[in-house]
Structure 1
Amino acid sequence: MMGIGNPIFFLFSFFIAAVILMYFFRKQYRDQVVPSNLLWEEVMKEWQASPWFHRLQKNLLLLLQVLILLFLMIALVKPYTFNEMAKKDHLVILLDTSASMNAVVNNRSHFEEAKEDIQSLVEGTDGKVTLLGVGKSVTTIVSEETNDRVVLNGLKNLPLSNDNEDMEKAIHLGEALAIGSESIIHIFSDSMGKDDFTEELTSPIQVHNLLTNPVNVSLTSFGVERLGSSYQGVAVIENQSEVSLKGHLAIYDEKNEISSVGLTLDPGEETVVPLSDLSYSPIYKAVIDFNDDYMEDNSLSSIQAASKPAIHVIGEINPFLLKGFQSIGVDVKTIEEDQMEPGDEIILTSKEKWQHLSVGSPAMIVPARSKESTPLTHGIKATNEDPLLKHVDLEKVYVDKVSSIQIKNLQSVATGDSIPLIQKGEVNGQKLVLLNLHLNESDFPLHPGFPIFLYNSYQFLSENHGFLGYYQPGEERTLPLSGDKWDIYSTEGEYVKEWNGEGVFKAPEAPGVYQAIRDDDMKYFSVVLDDREKQLSEGTSFSLEPTKGMKNEESKSIPQALTEWFLILAILLLFIEWEVYRRGNRI
């Protein structure tokens, strides 16, 4: 099917007619008597030597000039055809960057196979390309790009995020980008099914699932805890394949293998492996080996430290403090002095009771209710740049009376009338926060900075704990660390990056156990896969047509302009005409 874009330019046909009329009124020859015709006989002999060319040349320039004008006029008219083989002028490509894309296909990762297919798709289109990387967040790599080199360079540099993909959000974004153009959405993932599309579609979708008949055994859970004087653990292993597989489970401490168990798993079987009498180690690592297609779910670690220590309250403490700590997610327990045992907990008590404790632990010390108080005549002077008072405005806090607890070697971060109101430091190797405020004589608990102060204090007191918690790949979170900078290493000693201790911390993308090191201080944290990325299932490719806003069949084809072809023909004929004229023959 053909069409015309600018029919008004057909008026230029008058120029063609004018050229033809000029040839009708060209110079006419008349009869003339001459003394001799010898010269004319020589000319006639030469003309007859190549009669076909000279007779053709007589009107060749006219023909060429008419064709040049004709092709120029057609180019201005802008003719076009509907090309049914190129129905879509905008490709929206969604590439799954989750951890399960590491599964092996044809001795290559599913992710690399998908990139190769996308490259072929991009090279085979003349339209625009939008490429989105789909992990926990959706990243736009290129948008409506027509330069294949730019698209392929962005595709080459797109890494795996190792988190779980939010494909529903990505599809909504892809359909929004496809509005107003003839587009098709290509999804490259591992195991999407038609059941995942529950809403109406406004654009056609092609799903590419390259993972067929996956063979995978997953270590879904692993943990070790102390029972009395020994350590015991448990590992949960699942065979997600359709065949029986043989392998083994190995347990490692910081350096060596300390236990190994041989296993045979039937198709779909899940088994629980108990582990007893393990020697102490700050880190235990479980590794399975079943020669499967997916390695990322074959190991897990257990770290023997509390990431969020509880607060043990000893004595009568102002309820504002208890409620404040609970509001920031801390486990608060009230115990008696004789129930205190060595551990990772933080103590909240008065100075008198703290001095009688035989167990050393981080502590926040507050005035006892019966403690004498001193009226405060002037306002509070605070060291706002101290991490303990970050985002806390104490200068607006009203304080009627204060206490005067004295503990040596502590740093004052807030004072009033030369009395240290808030202090911090270390005593006998344990961190302390001293609060000399009587909260019932102050409006501090009513200020928005009060829970922030408690959070900062908790982070300071829990710094000595060796475990910073569990993270998902690339997760951003505030770390309870202070100092200039921390170097991040893997447990294998490989340097990962440097963190300056400010703002939020972004966890590494690769799962595993890491160390944060500053001088002689070392803390562990673990990066683990989302549980959904431990499930590997089979997927087949399929396509879906739009179910909403269907357009007529003609609108599914895009016009293919022919202008450039007629321009090329006109230029070619112009060179031919110049060559004919150069020969110097008259018409």
Structure 2
Amino acid sequence: MSFQTPWMAVMFALPAIVILFYFFRKKYEQHDVSSTLLWQEHVREVQASPYLKHLQHNALLYLQLLALLLAVFAMMQPVTTTIGQKGEQAMWIVDTSATMLADELFEQHRTHMLEQLAELEQPLTLITSGKQPTVILQQETNKARIQETIEALQVTYEHEYIVDTFAFANTFITPQTVVHVYSEAVDPLTLPTTEQEVEWHVINRTKEVTNAGIEQFAFVTEQQQTDFLLQLYSTEEQALTYVIRDEQGETLYRETVTVKANDTETITAKIDGAFTLLQASIEPVDTYVVDDTYWAYQQQATGAFHVDATMHTLLHKAVTSLQIPAVTTQPADLQRAQNAVITNATALLPTHRVFLIGRDDATLQAVSGAVTTTNDRLFTFSHLEDVYVQAVYPAFEGYDTIASVGDQPFIQRSPDGDIVVLTTITETDWALQPSFPLFLWTVLDEMATTNQLFGMFTPNEQRVMATPQGDIFSQAGEYVMTVPAGNQLRAPMQPGAYTFNDGEQSKAMFVLVEAQERNIEHREHQIVGQVTATTERLGQSWLTWLIFLMLIVLVIEWEVQRRRGLSIT
């Protein structure tokens, strides 16, 4: 206990004054007895309980002394004082990777944080892990807001990149900081070194978790037959049943194998039929379900592009600068080309995937006006408003016009996905503008695949893609998010299969955890460094209780005066 106004102790002189005043009161009480025969009996009653009689006789003295003592203590403002937590700042670094779901470790850490919050007195900085660590709270002192934030934390499935997270958090560390790291297997050697007084409390997973899962899954299809390769692993010897399913969820293959403890079992088998998408899963499902399912997609790449040798030199240089696989091919050899072709030969349109620049079966026609474009994915990064075009070829019937010069078609898309630019390099200044290589890269990137796969991603991955605006849906058909056109795409957080739909077509999209998240580790708790400073915590003031007690004493004193009529004179 301590006193906020200890100098008020001089008021203890007041009880002394009261005691001195009571020296002048009468030393006896007057009692009327109806007969002298009863006097001896009265004396015996007094002598039988002298202390009670003394208390009754001096009740006002004791009550007034108690009231004065309570008043003096109240004026000194007593409070309880305890030693709080170490440090001048608290920092919590929370691992939100997928493996935190194993054995409900993330919920255990959440409970520990809420327990720590009850004793927290310093400002708190809360940081979550990841490739781009996030500051959730900075120098926060509002406990209600801290509790709300802790309860809202969730696993993001992204790898923790703990070393990068420590480097980021180190910029917020000041002298006398106590850091709590909530993870699963942080090595103390990875903690940043500093000359400042910093104390690290590393809270890990302390026991091994039994787990089994899929490490790798891939397949290849040839002539209506599919060969797949599957790798299973387990921390203990057990029988695992793996199931291969197609895109509609129909079971194609099922087998039970025994996997040895801390070992990997590689399986190869054949399935009748041709597939572009397969799912592998294992049974029984354990407590860590993230690695129990694996998606694989066979994407048919077109290989190197064939560039017509008669095309303009600027086009050849542009393709080379983009570092896109391409070979220069003579016009007579283009018919035998197996991959996409960049040419002006319209005869190749029915048989090949073609990026047509110009036409060899028509003549140019003068044109004037500004270039306008539609909301097509090819113009996500390239803008053609400043492009000058003086002549174009006649348009193809049945093709979609995605850019025009005045009222004349300029760029078209065929029903088969071919791209047609209805002019030559010499009839426009487009090749000299920054938008030309961007447009060229977007076209070739689109033609490089069969266009059935939107992409393979890791949770929360950010990637720049030439995509139009579209929506992402889960495998169950539930809406997940909208992807703006031309913006950086951020993949969904939850691993699984998705569909990207831009209103014209749908593409498969997969989110898979990184390989590191298929390995569950454990390590003992660690404390590194030491902080010497502590905070002094003041408890609730006693002033309210003292005033309350003093009022009760005054009420009792008044009641004594009223009932007994005792007097100090």
CA shift, 1:161, in A, is 0.8
Relative to structure 1, the CA distance from residue 309 to residue 72 in structure 2 (aligned partners, 3 Å threshold; closer, same or farther) is farther
- Residue matched to 1:119: 114
Aligned to 2:370: 380
Q: Deviations over 1:323-365 (max 9, x none)?
A: 5456556443445323334xxx643211xx232454243x332
Determine the C-alpha separation between the residues in 1 that align with 2:427 and 2:169: 58
1:228/1:319 CA distance change after superposition, 3 Å:
farther
Identify if the C-alpha distance between structure 1 residues 14 and 173 changes in structure 2 by more than 3 Å, giving closer, same or farther. farther
SS of the aligned residue for 2:537 comes to: strand
| Rounded Cα–Cα distance in structure 2 between residues aligned with 1:82 and 1:130 | 22
2:423 corresponds to 1:423: no
For residues 248-259 of structure 1, the aligned pairs below 5 Å read 248-254=241-247, 255-259=249-253
Measure the CA separation in 2 of the matches of 1:264 and 1:29: 101
Partner of 1:189: 183
Say whether 1:244 aligns with 2:247.
no
Secondary structure of the corresponding residue to residue 186 of structure 2: coil
Identity %: 17
Change (3 A) 1:193 1:54: same
1:281 Cα deviation from its structure 2 partner: 1.9
- The answer to whether the Cα contact below 8 Å between 2:346 and 2:360 also exists between their aligned partners in 1 is no
TM-score (ref. length: structure 2): 0.79
* Letter in structure 1 aligned against 2:482: W
Pair 450,42 (structure 1): closer, same or farther in 2 beyond 3 Å? farther
2:67 alignment counterpart: 64
- Work out the number of aligned pairs and report it: 541
> Paired residue for 1:203?
198
1:281 to 271, 275, 278: 275
Query: Match of 1:404?
Result: 393
Aligned residue number for residue 579 of structure 1: 555
Alpha-carbon shift at residue 165 of structure 1 (Å) = 0.7
Q: Does the residue aligned with 1:116 lie in a helix, a strand or coil?
A: helix
Residue 489 (str. 1) matches residue 474 (str. 2):
yes
Q: Report the CA distance shift for 1:232/1:319 in structure 2 as closer, same or farther (over 3 A).
A: farther
Residue 541 of structure 1 deviates from its aligned partner by 1.9
SS of 2:291 mapped into structure 1: coil
The letter for the 2-side match of 1:407 is F
User: Compared with structure 1, are the counterparts of its residues 560 and 398 closer, same or farther at alpha carbon in structure 2 (3 Å cutoff)?
Assistant: same
Residues 74-124 of structure 1: per-residue CA shift (max 9 Å, x gap): 54xx784546xx435754332221111222x3xxx2223332333333345
C-alpha displacement at 1:66, in angstroms? 4.4
Q: Choose which of 432, 455, 463 in structure 1 pairs with 2:419.
A: 432
Cα deviations by residue, 1:486-540 (Å, 9 ceiling, x for unpaired): 45131xx342425365344433322222223467833211111111112223322
* Equivalence for 1:359: 351
Which secondary structure state, in structure 1, belongs to the residue aligned with residue 71 of structure 2?
helix
**Structure-2 residue corresponding to 1:170:** 165
Cα separation, 2, equivalents of 1:522 and 1:301 = 18
Task: Tell me the TM-score normalized by structure 1.
Answer: 0.77
Question: Secondary structure at 1:355's aligned position in 2?
Answer: helix
In structure 1, C-alpha distance between the alignment counterparts of 2:99 and 2:360, rounded to whole Å = 58
For residues 256 and 386 of structure 1, the distance between their equivalents in structure 2, rounded to whole angstroms, comes to: 36
- The separation in 2 between residues aligned to 1:327 and 1:72, in whole angstroms, is 85
Shift of 1:467: 0.9
- The secondary structure found in structure 2 opposite 1:394 is coil
Q: Describe the SS at the equivalent of 1:533.
A: helix
**Partner deviation per Cα, 1:372-391 (whole Å, 9 max, x = no partner):** 76777x66333476654445
- SS at 1:430 equivalent: coil
Asked whether 1:52 is paired with 2:55, we answer yes
Relative to structure 1, the CA distance from residue 332 to residue 27 in structure 2 (aligned partners, 3 Å threshold; closer, same or farther) is: farther
Q: For structure 2, which runs of at least 5 residues remain unmatched after alignment?
A: 34-41
1:413 aligns with 2:396: no
3-state SS of paired residue (1:204): strand
Distance in 2 separating the partners of 1:244 and 1:183: 45
Residues 141-188 of structure 1 deviation map (CA, whole Å, 9 limit, x = unaligned): 4445556554443333322111101223433454554526x5432222
CA gap of 1:270–1:322, structure 2 versus 1, over 3 A, is farther
Contact 1:235–1:274 (8 Å) recurs in 2: yes
Unaligned runs of 5+ in 1: 31-38
**Aligned pairs for 1:79-98 within 5 A:** 80=81, 82=83, 86-87=85-86, 91-98=90-97
- CA RMSD across the alignment: 4.2
2:86 partner SS: coil
- Name the CA shift for 1:173/1:54 in 2 (closer, same or farther; >3 Å): farther
Shift of 1:52: 1.3
